[in-house]
Amino acid sequence: MTIKSRKPVFSRAARADLRSIFKYIAAQNPDAAAAFVLDIHSKINSIAQNGFTGVARDHLRQQLRALPYRDRCIYFRVEESHIYIVRFLHGWQDISFKHFPESDT
């Protein structure tokens, strides 16, 4: 069985989350912030290669999946031709459907 590689696509909220994470880490250690963002992108590419990984989070939004990674949780949807990255949220954060508006999922 061949696994189809998909292109990662980031929502506006996911891009904003990543910028916020970068700024937070960079305030203490710019090199660590850059390394973290590169590491996240590497993980996203891995998700794009593997497709249906992570845990279904349909109680938040239909077809939403989540994968915990380095104190964060990557929320995404698997589409036919791409992986749509919805949000990057802290693992300790209380999450509800309000974090995933229809317009951005």
Q: Which residue has the higher pLDDT, 26 or 93?
A: 26
Q: State the Cα–Cα distance between residues 42 and 99, nearest whole angstrom.
A: 24
Greatest CA separation found in the chain? 46
Quote the DSSP letter at residue 95.
Answer: -
Q: How many domains are there within the chain?
A: 1
Q: Mean pLDDT throughout 29-45?
A: 94
Q: Mean pLDDT throughout 10-24?
A: 94
Task: Find the domain containing 44 and state its range.
Answer: 7-104
Quote the DSSP letter at residue 51.
Answer: -
- What SS3 state is found at 98? helix
For residue 51, name the pLDDT band (cuts at 50, 70, 90). low
For residue 17, the domain's CATH number is 3.30.2310.20
**The pair of three-digit structure tokens given for residue 12, joined into one six-digit string:** 């506006």
Average pLDDT in the chain: 83
Element housing 56 (H / E): strand 55-56
Task: Identify whether 51 is part of a domain.
Answer: yes
Q: Look at the chain and count its residues.
A: 105
pTM above 0.85, yes or no: no
Task: Identify whether 2 is part of a domain.
Answer: no
**pLDDT exceeds 80 at position 50:** no
Percent of the chain with pLDDT over 90: 40
